[in-house]
């Protein structure tokens, strides 16, 4: 596997493989003499497994890590933990522990390694506290008066969160601080393949005061519950009488994503008698921006984008800000507080 992954990566002229390691302990030893821009790290290894290795890397010498994971229940659970411990992203093996046909996902592997090299995981791991102190002492960017108007509106409220690379860690930071009595449902699109979002939802549910679950087609949406779109399915919201319900579909991906933040936002734009709070957090690309434009035209919408200082990847928040439809730019550590204030 080390040989195959090395050969695949070195087919791209932007990448040079500076070393390989037989196991986690071997990797830690080699990190005393080399400093790679990115590490690919298998979850399953002898001597020291990937999760233990990852935690030691993030503690001693934060470097962007892309996990290599099995498409199994245990693999999904370990991958979610890896995201929590600081991994930037992951790829799934094509066929078990020894996947010699991993060349089938060569393009995805190369893309994620290049993206990881551009991410800010080292700054985030080292300076999260410093960034928070700076954000507390500086006024967040926002449009005057719009937050008061949103809070004063008597219509029922819905919170919609969109995120991608770095999202699992960001979601944990936000959702664990939301009070169980919050007077709104929370709908989440996290770019992840099928099989991984359920493990993410279960992990977050064990840590949060609110209930967190993978969304199921047809279920009634309730306040105080966060619904995560299943990997491989778009999440729409449908009005049924005086209630809202989840509507899942497997229509074509939108700009390469299924679930898509744009699809969720656009479905919310069709609701009457609701106010929508959107939050666009860390992630690559521009998913959510077009949906935000539609929401702003059709609904009473207040929009938050995560601040660059706390993003692993600033792509999605930056794209949202460029639409000029974002009302407030907020550091990750303060997003939960703003959600609670705005929907109380």
- As averages over each run of 10 residues, the pLDDT of the chain (344 residues) reads 90 96 94 94 88 93 88 80 92 65 82 91 53 44 68 88 95 96 97 93 97 98 98 96 95 96 97 94 96 95 95 95 96 96 89
Half-sphere exposure in the Cβ direction for 53 (13 Å, CA): 29
What single DSSP character describes residue 307? -
- The whole model's pTM is what? 0.89
What pLDDT is attached to residue 122?
A: 54
Distance spanning both ends of the chain, measured CA to CA? 52
In the prediction, which pLDDT does 131 show?
A: 46
Non-local CB neighbours of 317 within 8 Å, separated by 6+ positions: 280, 281, 282, 283, 305, 306, 307, 308, 311, 329
Domain membership of residue 137 (yes or no) is no
Domain count, the chain: 2
Task: Indicate whether 236 and 328 sit together in one domain.
Answer: yes
**Does 168 lie in the same domain as 94?**
no
Give the pLDDT score at 149. 78
Residue 134 confidence (pLDDT) = 47
Catalytic residue among 42, 89, 131, 287: 287
Instruction: State which residues form the domain around 82.
Output: 2-128
Give rounded-to-5 percent helix, strand, coil for the chain.
40, 20, 40
Length of the chain: 344
Reply yes or no on whether 234 is catalytic.
Answer: no
**Sheet of strand 89-92, all strands in order from the earlier edge strand to the far edge:** 39-42, 65-69, 89-92
Please give the Cα distance from 133 to 116 (Å, whole number): 26
CA within 13 Å, CB half, 8:
20
Question: Count of CB atoms within 10 A of residue 301's CB?
Answer: 24
CATH number assigned to the domain comprising residue 263: 3.40.50.180
Q: Based on the domain organization, do 202 and 151 belong to the same domain?
A: yes
Same domain, residue pair 198 and 318: yes
> What is the pLDDT, as a whole number, of residue 176?
97
> Parallel, antiparallel, or unpaired: how do β-strands 211-214 and 225-228 relate?
parallel
Give the pLDDT score at 289.
97
- Residue 136 counted as domain residue: no
Closest CA to 162 of 84, 257, 296: 257
- At residue 282, the pLDDT reads 95
CA 12, chain centre distance (Å): 27
Query: How far apart are the C-alpha atoms of 237 and 219, rounded to whole Å?
Result: 10
Residues 78 and 148 in one domain: no
CB 295 within 8 A of CB 275: no
Given 69, 89, 131, 191, which residue is catalytic? 191
pLDDT at 288: 97
Task: Find the CATH number of the domain harbouring 89.
Answer: 3.40.50.2300
Among the options 70, 164, 267, 303, which is catalytic? Answer: 164
Do 112 and 185 lie in one domain? The reply is no
User: Do both 295 and 202 map to the same domain?
Assistant: yes
Q: Which residue has the tokens 């074509």?
A: 252
Helix locations, 159-288, DSSP H: 167-175, 197-207, 261-269
164 among known catalytic residues:
yes
The pLDDT value recorded for residue 272 is 81
- Tell me if residue 287 is catalytic: yes
Considering the domain architecture, whether residues 336 and 206 belong to the same structural domain is answered as: yes
SS3 304: strand
Tell me what pLDDT residue 97 has.
Answer: 53
By C-alpha distance, which of 242, 244, 263, 265 is closest to 252? 263
Contacts of 49 by beta carbon, 8 Å cutoff, 6+ apart: 24, 43
């Amino acid at each position: 596997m080390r040989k195959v992954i090395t050969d695949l990566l070195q087919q791209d002229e932007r990448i040079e493989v500076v070393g390989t390691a037989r196991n986690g302990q071997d990797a830690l030893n080699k990190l005393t003499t080399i400093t790679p821009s990115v590490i690919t790290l298998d979850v399953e290894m002898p001597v020291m497994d990937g999760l233990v290795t990852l935690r030691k890397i993030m503690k001693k010498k934060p470097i962007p890590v892309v996990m290599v994971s099995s498409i199994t229940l245990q693999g999904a659970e370990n991958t979610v933990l890896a995201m929590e411990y600081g991994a930037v992203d992951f790829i799934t093996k094509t066929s078990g522990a020894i996947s010699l046909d991993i060349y089938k996902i060569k393009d995805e592997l190369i893309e994620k390694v290049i993206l990881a090299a551009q991410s800010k995981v080292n700054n985030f791991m080292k300076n999260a506290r410093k960034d928070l102190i700076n954000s507390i002492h500086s006024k967040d960017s926002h449009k005057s008066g719009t937050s008061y108007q949103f809070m004063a509106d008597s219509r029922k409220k819905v919170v919609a969160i969109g995120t991608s690379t770095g999202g699992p860690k960001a979601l944990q930071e936000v959702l664990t601080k939301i009070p169980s009595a919050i007077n709104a449902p929370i709908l989440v699109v996290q770019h992840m393949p099928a099989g991984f979002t359920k493990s993410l939802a279960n992990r977050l549910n064990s840590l949060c005061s609110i209930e967190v679950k993978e969304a199921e087609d047809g279920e009634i949406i309730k306040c105080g519950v966060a619904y995560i779109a299943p990997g491989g399915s778009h999440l729409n919201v449908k009005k049924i009488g005086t209630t809202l319900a989840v509507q899942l579909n497997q229509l074509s991906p939108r700009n390469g994503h299924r679930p898509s933040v744009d699809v969720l936002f656009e479905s919310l734009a069709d609701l009457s008698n609701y106010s929508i709070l959107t939050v666009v957090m860390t992630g690559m690309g521009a998913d959510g921006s077009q949906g935000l434009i539609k929401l702003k035209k059709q609904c009473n919408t207040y929009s938050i984008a995560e601040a660059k200082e706390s993003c692993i990847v600033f792509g999605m928040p930056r794209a949202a800000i460029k639409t000029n439809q974002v009302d407030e730019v907020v550091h990750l550590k303060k997003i939960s507080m703003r959600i609670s204030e705005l929907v109380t």
